[in-house]
Amino acid sequence: MSIITKIRLTMIGAFSVLFAGLLTLLQNKWNLTLLLFQLSSKEISSIALIISAICFSALLFSYFSKLKKSKILYALVLMVSGFLLVVFILGCLLNGFITESKYYAFQSPDQQQTLVIEEESFLLAGYGSFYMKEYPLFVKRVQDYSTDDGYRPFQLDDAHIKWHEDNVTIEYGNGLGDRDKAIVHFE
């Protein structure tokens, strides 16, 4: 592997780690979530970390390929690093993609506000969040909700949204035959 390729792999890996860290910081400190192509910050961070793991693994394999004189040590390093790479990638995939998230966007009648609703379900749990669009690619989480038995009221069109001057009222089915109500205030 040439020195240029090693530099490129290092830069791509480092950039991917920094990007994932930045997305985590935005989400934890300012409650902002990147929403791009129906992928949330968590899923995009997982993809970035997988890219960095692949880049750093290629560098590690390149470095340890010089140990071919010691075949036992080379085989051991190859097996351990390969196993760790597979475990890391599977962990990222499970973390980012184990729940099936769906996003729905609703604009106010005056086109000034955009409500984004995230809907997730995992096993017997249904839950999600209400977001207000802050910037072109970022939304801010303002409230969470939950439903029973993985019920998805927005996918099943079991919800009603009413816009007011300074808030939006969301009434949705909770999976038990009842209806829950949430009020999201504009900032």
Q: Which two tokens stand for residue 83?
A: 């196993």
pTM of the shown model: 0.76
The pLDDT tens digits of the residues spanning 49-93 come to 889 888 888 888 787 777 666 777 777 877 888 888 888 888 777
What pLDDT does 143 receive? Answer: 93
Distance CA 130, CA 139 (A): 9
At residue 106, the 3 state secondary structure works out as: strand
Regions of the chain with pLDDT less than 50? none
| Res 155: pLDDT | 92
Please give the pLDDT value at position 169.
96
CA distance 126 to 180: 13
The answer to whether the CB of 7 falls within 8 A of the CB of 15 is no
Compute and round to an integer the Cα radius of gyration of the chain.
Answer: 22
- pLDDT for 108: 93
